[in-house]
Structure 1
Amino acid sequence: MRHTTTDTDIDRGDWPDAVTPWGDAAWRTAAEAFTAEGLAAHGLRPAGKRTARLRPWSVLVRIPTDDGSRVWFKANPPASRFEAGLALVLDRRVPGRVLRPLAVDAGRGWSLLPDGGPVLADVLAGADAGEATRVWEEILPLYAQVQQTLTGHTAELTAAGLPEARTAALPALFERLLAENAVHLDTAERARLEAARPLIEGASAELAALGIADTLDHSDLQDAQILRPEPGRYTFFDWGDSSVTHPFCSLLVTSRIFRRRHGDATLPRLRDAYLEPWTGPGRTPAELRRGLDLALRLAALTRAVAWGRLFPGNAEAGAAPGERPAAARWLLRVLDATRR
């Protein structure tokens, strides 16, 4: 759904009634001042009509500039406000793998970002399984290297506000999610989840024993969250769902989406490409694959908590009318035995 004002084209997508700060004229004035000041610091000025993409989880404004390029203003809601400050840490620690912000207001959760080129989803539109597999085999080792670099800097990540879902704390997180989502579960589902407690505890303990430290997990790693400005070069962005947890949790969304589009046949190649940088003394490929299987189950918990914090107590939490909230649906996926 779109409508146009004199200087901004409004895109509300499937959320025509979503309440966002955009409706507050004072907020828009402040955001425009932040944008103008951020651009001026780089010798730029806004030029031309903007497009505001309004969603329950963010306000994103595309702004043409007087040099013929474009920049992006992003405002996060309170639950993912950390993304603005996190951008500064990521640019400092893994430069070149993330967007370098032009300006940041961490307190308000505002970022002004450069255009990073085409989204990978557009680049791969129409690609067959072979081509998609080849590209992801390039991407996943690079992403693993980002995670490894950040392993020693988790204190900086959490100081920026990044939530924690530490591997050792996942059983406690499971209990919290079970309590928070009880109203959305029927009797049989609650019983199955309660019976899964030993499974969750055992999986968390075994995964921790693998000896790979917690680090940054994007939590929504897919081709819509990666930019590909040129062949072989990839930029990771959109960190609003992320947390500090076991790194292997990152492949849950990647695997699910790849399977849906291209089937299972080449998924082992993707997973081996991701795991290869984690090999080392005392870790066999079989142990790493076993760890990944455990993480893919437990990652449903981190996905559930991401949805829950973005939509606390909100029936619209990623659900169609009459459908249970996404947090409850993700919680139930810890029971899924399919882990290839």
Structure 2
Amino acid sequence: MRDDVAWTVDRGRYEDAVTPWEQESWRTAALAWVADGLAAHGLRAAGPLEVRLRPWSVLARVPVAGRPAVWFKANPPASGFEGALTAALARWVPRHVLAPLAVDADRGWSLLPDGGALFRDVLERQAVGPEAWEGLLRQYAEMQRALVSHTQEIEDLGVPDARPARLPVMFDELVAGNSALRPADRSRLERLRPRLRDWCAELAALGVPDSLDHADLHDGQLFHPEPGRYTFFDWGDATVSHPFCSLHVTARRAAERYGPGVMARLRDAYLEPWTDDGRTAAELRRAVDLAWRLSVLGRARAWGGLFPATPGTPGSASLSEHSAGSLLELLDEPPFSPHPAGHP
């Protein structure tokens, strides 16, 4: 694939963000790597690229002769593990994820096949009820359980450690490093720290083993190629964490579509695969409440994973505000049910 191949560029709301795509030498190397990756599978590009540039990724849709398009993705250093993680997941839990066509772990590049219908598009085309979200959460929980034995291998790939024991330190780093927090909000968060430490200790004591947390699992981050089957992708925000942290984003997105009454139903569907380890329903639900609140730290961290040239631009300022907003969600009560006396 030559550097003079045609392409269109979508920058979304981040017109001022700087990515490696602007560097001719980087772009030439990336296009050559894509061509080699396609050739290794007997494929070739056929048509202009559609390039999406964001402060946290370069994503290009590459039309391919005789089959669906493939996708090139480049991650910044903070999420450069994504290609290697995607390849490892394809070995460990192939039923649940995409198998990459090529990965360059050192450069944070990956080449991915088409995954079928995006769940978001299915929701727009069809009348889909909450039961579909229940199914995807059960499947996702089954995948997390299968990955428990691989947590150290996942961390060795560079996936950040966000286990409960690590979260108080992460909290301190995020609060200290966020310039968008107003003084009053910073004070509120600093006063919360003793309770946060207690929440982390209680969550760890409940004994659910750590696993992989996608950290941003919504309807645009999974495919629904056929009834009853879901394929999870886009692992750039992932952490090694308490698995129940994953529920927050998914359940909130479903509640936006069906109303808050769906929350408890989705929680219980997600917990079904975790009920055979001897823990009571009350213990699992308590763990969900704690993980729900603490999961916002993973979201706050993810907003800082930008390409090195991006900080200081107008676009990055809005990302700091998003991170601050996530931190302030620590002050919100979990949505499922009233807490008994003595609990937050």
Cα contact 2:59–2:73 (8 A) shared by 1: yes
Tell me if structure 1 keeps the 8 A contact 2:55–2:316.
Answer: no
Rounded to whole Å, the distance in 2 between the matches of 1:49 and 1:141 is: 39
Q: CA deviation at 1:293?
A: 0.5
Alignment of 1:118-157 (within 5 A): 118-125=117-124, 131-157=128-154
Which residue of structure 2 lines up, in the alignment, with residue 58 of structure 1? 57
Instruction: Provide TM-score, normalisation by structure 1.
Output: 0.92
Mapped to 2, the partners of 1:329 and 1:309 lie a distance apart of: 16
> Is 1:218 the equivalent of 2:214?
yes
Q: Which residue of 2 aligns with 1:186?
A: 182
Give CA-to-partner distance per residue, 1:27-82, whole Å, 9 cap, x none.
11111111111111111111112211111111111111122321111111111111
Q: What residue number does 1:94 align with?
A: 93
Aligned residue runs from structure 1 range 76-95, under 5 A: 76-95=75-94
Once the 2 structures are TM-superposed, how far is the Cα of residue 253 of structure 1 from its aligned partner? 1.0
- For residues 165-191 of structure 1, give each alpha carbon's deviation from its aligned partner in whole angstroms, at most 9, with x where no partner exists: 11112122212222112x433332222
Bigger relative contact order, structure 1 or 2 (CA pairs below 8 A, ≥6 apart): 2
1:104-155 residue CA offsets vs partner (Å, 9 max, x unmatched)? 1010011111011111001011666xx3311111111110111111111112
Partner residue, 1:69? 68
Q: Provide runs of 4+ in structure 1 moved above 3 Å.
A: 309-320
Specify which of 205, 230, 237 is matched with residue 234 of structure 1: 230
1:309 CA drift (Å)? 3.3
CA contact (8 A) 1:259 1:267 kept: yes
Residue 198 of structure 2: which of 177, 202, 210 is its match? 202
SS of the residue aligned with 1:87? helix
The amino acid of 1:145's aligned partner reads E
Tell me, what secondary structure is at the counterpart of 1:178? helix
1:197-224: CA deviations, max 9, x gaps?
A: 2210111111101111111000001000
| Conserved 8 A contact 2:16-2:314 | no
Q: Distance in 2 between matches of 1:135 and 1:61?
A: 29
Question: Does the CA contact (< 8 Å) of 1:84 and 1:104 recur in 2?
Answer: yes
1:246 aligned partner:
242
CA distance in 2, matches of 1:61, 1:186: 37
The aligned residue for residue 172 of structure 1 is: 169
Aligned identity (percent) is: 55
Q: CA deviation at 1:232?
A: 1.4
CA contact (8 A) 1:154 1:244 kept: yes
Structure 1: tracts of 5 or more residues without a match:
none
Q: 2:341: which partner in 1?
A: none
User: What count of residue pairs does the alignment treat as equivalent?
Assistant: 331
TM-score by length of 2: 0.91
Cα RMSD after superposing both structures: 1.9
Whole-Å separation in 1 of the counterparts to 2:126 and 2:66: 33
Contact conserved, 2:12 with 2:54, CA < 8 A, in 1?
Answer: yes
Answer with 302-311 or 83-92: which moved more: 302-311
Within 1, Cα distance between the matches of 2:176 and 2:78? 20
Q: Is the 8 A contact 1:304 1:326 kept in 2?
A: yes
Compute the displacement of 1:317 (Å): 6.2
Counterpart contact for 2:57–2:75, Cα < 8 Å: yes
Q: What do residues 284-332 of structure 1 show as CA deviations (whole Å, max 9, x unaligned)?
A: 1111111100001001111111112337855756764xx9621111111
Q: Tell me if structure 2 keeps the 8 A contact 1:317–1:327.
A: no
Relative to structure 1, is the Cα distance of residues 78 and 316 closer, same or farther in structure 2, using a 3 angstrom cutoff?
A: farther
2:276 is aligned to 280
CA distance in 2, matches of 1:86, 1:71: 18
Residues in 2 aligned to 1:247 and 1:311: alpha-carbon distance in whole angstroms: 28
